[in-house]
Amino acid sequence: MSQPHGHADAPYLDPGHSADERTADLLGRMTVEEKAGLIFHPMALVSPGGELTGTFGPLAIPATEDAVVSRRVNHLYIVGSSDPSDIARWHNRVQEVAESTRLRIPVTISTDPRHAFTRILGTGAVTEGFSSWPQAIGFAALGDESLVERFADVVRRDYLAVGIRLALHPQADLATEPRWMRVAGTYGEDSATVAALTAAQLRGLHGAVFGDSSISTMTKHFPGCGPQRDGEDPRFVYGKEQDYPGGRMEEHLAPFIAAIAAGTRQILLSYGVPTWPGSAGVGFCFDRDVVTGILRERLGFDGIVSTDWGVINDVNLLGQDMPAPAWGLEELTPEQRILRALEAGVDQFGGEYRPELVVDLVRGGAVTQDRLDASAARILREKFALGLFDQRRVDVDRVPELVGQPRDVATGRELQTRSLTVLGDRIGLPLAPGTAVHLDGLDPIAFGGIATVVGPEEAQLTIVRVEAPFEPRAGGFEALFHAGSLELDDAAAAALSAKLATGSTILVVDLDRPAILRPHVEADVLIAAFGASDRAIVDGLFGRQPMEGRLPFDLPSSEAHVEASRTDVAFDTESPLFTQGFRAGG
């Protein structure tokens, strides 16, 4: 048997063998404990300077070295410092720790999206140090597959440079319930558009041939998380039901079918409980009819299937006690929940690190060695396919020249501007350089050298930027998300109307979800933003880049129409104020 260079004691085949051969060989050398470690995927904290950390209670994060060495975990989802060089240094240190273990299995590093401009935490990572592009819904406003693929190729190169090898994206959900808090991460509510743009993103992340220059992809949230009852998120007990009153399950599956055809490597399951006839009444990750019946057998998916984060153990996140979203199985122990998920067909548990429970299940006879081996083999095969065993370090010194390249930063800003959608223009954009403007909700620095920023009395016009309406939620973790009603309450509406009654006004609304745009339509210019910085907005207002976006979803005309619509049916709100594809001027 050949050995890796410089490590004669490491028992695995060299890259001259196929990924299947290398997987079978290594699997045969592993203990139950080592196999169990493979199927957990907890969070890890990247500290400033790329230092490894101890336990971090506010996010239920284990000590990195303990997770890798003692628990044999070798998948880590990163949070914390977003500096690319820090991530690269941290990656190399983690791999050094992995090399100290008996089998030296390299750690797969994963992340949520890091390249989209967002003001909302909880749905992605901060973009500091990486180029900043529109959110997925902004790419939907542009509707161009080639732009999505180009963007994803930039993400691929950046991730490779810092050691991230698994993307917890794309998000293939349909935004059919406009109140859902995760709309900004979708490609809208049209199934065909979502399918096409999802496949384009996968092509860019995988590269021409899947291998050591590719990023593995975990498409989410199967079988489609859009039709949430009342738009509530299934991570929370009040949002666990997923409804299909229009019988449109197939439309929600279509983007996942396209993703599988495009070669997605992994699938992340939704937390939700379906309410269709005959439902088992449990969350999707515990439902064998969904995981094995639909995903494995009907759709033919043989990649890695993961639960969403934290379905096994209750946790405290950011000071908030949160029950595990093991919906329908709340009375079961963590060990029993793991058993149900494995019986359903799950391979890996996101956000968890309890391999000792799997060991107990195997040794007690509840889980067979063959069942554990099936999941372990899928996971090992992916590591070999990515070349993780053969290239264990990244070049930290090269990170500044490889990540956040000026051309990528410029293109990201350009597409932020191009995705802006003009819904009304009564003054005739673009603005003339030097226009005297009063700003509300925008950074004056972004206007430097382009406009003259003045007080309201001296202004030729007022530019206001606001978030789409939402109902603030209590709790440390829940407070990160925007949920609830899509319209302003009476006091907020009156305050906004007062701002828009002071001469000529431009209003920019950040549409992380659809919004009910009264009284917003009182503005002389109304613009929808889908992940755009203040500088990108300036570029659009002053004609430095065209604003080309078209609405990626309908904008309802009332909350009553939203409440009356069917959660699983696209474009189902009555008499929308603006329809998908709208842009002022045609």
At 421-430, the pLDDT tens digits run: 999 999 999 9
Average pLDDT over residues 383-391: 96
* Cβ contact 231:179 at 8 Å: yes
455 contacts: CB under 8 Å, gap ≥ 6: 438
CA atoms within 13 A on the CB side of 175: 28
Neighbours of 503 (CB within 10 A): 13
Catalytic residue flag (residue 321): no
The DSSP letter of residue 568 is T
Q: Where are the domains of the chain?
A: 115-347+355-390, 406-564
Average pLDDT over residues 385-393: 96
Task: Report phi then psi at 103, rounded to 5.
Answer: -100, -5
pLDDT at 5: 35
Could you give the CA distance from residue 88 to residue 71 in angstroms, rounded to a whole number?
23
Phi-psi region of 53 (alpha: psi -120 to 50; beta: other; left: phi over 0): beta
The DSSP letter of residue 378 is H
* Cβ contact 73:355 at 8 Å: yes
Neighbours of 21 (CB within 10 A): 12
Q: Which CATH class is domain 406-564?
A: alpha beta
Question: Helices 355-363 and 334-344 meet at what angle, rounded to 10?
Answer: 70
Residue 122: is its pLDDT beyond 90?
Answer: no
pLDDT at 11: 62
Here the tokens at position 121 are 């935490």
Choose among 269, 267, 268, 124: nearest CA to 184. 124
Task: Report phi then psi at 415, rounded to 5.
Answer: -75, -30
Strands lying side by side in the sheet with 266-269: 43-46, 75-80, 108-111, 166-167, 216-222, 266-269, 304-306
pLDDT at 125: 55
Banded model confidence at residue 2, pLDDT cuts 50, 70, 90: very low
CA dist 305 → 16, 255, 256 (Å): 28, 16, 13
List the catalytic residue out of 308, 510, 512, 572.
Answer: 308
454 contacts: CB under 8 Å, gap ≥ 6: 436, 437, 438
Give the 3-state secondary structure of 300-351: CCCCEEECCCCCCCCEEECCEEECCCCCCCCCCCHHHHHHHHHHHCCCEEEC
Could you give the CA distance from residue 434 to residue 431 in angstroms, rounded to a whole number?
9
What element of type H or E holds 44? Answer: strand 43-46
Q: Which of 123-137, 160-174, 385-399 has the lowest mean pLDDT?
A: 123-137
35 contacts: CB under 8 Å, gap ≥ 6: 27, 372, 373, 376
17 CA to centre of own chain: 34
pLDDT at 478: 86
Q: Which CATH superfamily is domain 115-347+355-390 in?
A: Glycoside hydrolase, family 3, N-terminal domain (3.20.20.300)
Could you give the CA distance from residue 7 to residue 30 in angstroms, rounded to a whole number?
18
* Cβ contact 562:555 at 8 Å: no
* Cβ contact 550:583 at 8 Å: yes
At 275-307, the pLDDT tens digits run: 988 899 999 999 999 999 999 999 999 999 999
At 11-41, the pLDDT tens digits run: 678 899 999 999 999 999 999 999 999 999 9
Provide DSSP, 538-549: HHHHTTSS----
Residue 174: is its pLDDT beyond 50?
Answer: yes
SS3 state of residue 201: helix
pLDDT at 6: 33
* Cβ contact 140:187 at 8 Å: yes
SS3 state of residue 411: helix
User: Does the global pTM surpass 0.75?
Assistant: yes
At 40-92, the pLDDT tens digits run: 999 999 999 999 987 777 777 889 999 999 999 999 999 888 899 999 999 99
Average pLDDT over residues 321-337: 96
Beta strands in 215-265 (DSSP E): 216-222, 241-242
Residue 10: is its pLDDT beyond 80?
Answer: no
Choose among 269, 204, 216: nearest CA to 108. 216
Average pLDDT over residues 479-507: 91
Residue 162: is its pLDDT beyond 80?
Answer: yes
Mean pLDDT of the chain: 94
Banded model confidence at residue 8, pLDDT cuts 50, 70, 90: very low
pLDDT at 55: 77
* Cβ contact 165:108 at 8 Å: yes
At 254-271, the pLDDT tens digits run: 999 999 999 999 999 999
What percent of the chain is modeled with pLDDT above 90? 86
Q: How big is the CA angle at 53 (ends 48 and 57), to the nearest 5 degrees?
A: 110
